[in-house]
Amino acid sequence: SFFRLDWGVIQTDDYKENFINEARYIDLIIIDEISMVRADILDSIDQSLQYTMNKSRPFGGIQMIFFGDPYQLPPVVPDNEEVRRYFSEYYKTPYFFDSIAYNQSNFKV
């Protein structure tokens, strides 16, 4: 993926240095089928953009556009105990709309 995120549960500081140089030139990010994006992934995208753009604003001040029916396709969550424990501890659900980043942003629906 563009963000070079690893498979599995994504911690908010799991971003790659080689992503940083490319991301500095971004003005807009469009994510289609947003319902398939897990909360931890959206939070990691937010943190990596804040770090890259050196701004504490949501998503580093980059305009974000999400497309998709939030309940059409569920996020892909590995079926193991470690992942279930992680999501129950940090998120209400694995859906993008329960991410910290989404809830701290002022998205227009």
Whole-number pLDDT of residue 84 = 84
Whole-number pLDDT of residue 38 = 92
Whole-number pLDDT of residue 79 = 86
pLDDT (tens place) for every residue of the chain, 109 residues total: 666 666 566 555 545 555 666 777 888 999 999 999 999 999 989 988 998 888 899 999 999 999 999 889 899 888 888 888 888 899 999 999 999 999 999 888 8
Q: Is the pTM of this model over 0.85?
A: no
Whole-number pLDDT of residue 69 = 92
Residues 6+ apart with CB under 8 A from 13: 47
DSSP string, 32-72: SSGGGSBHHHHHHHHHHHHHHHT--SGGGG-EEEE-S-TTT
Q: 44 near 5, Cβ under 8 Å?
A: yes
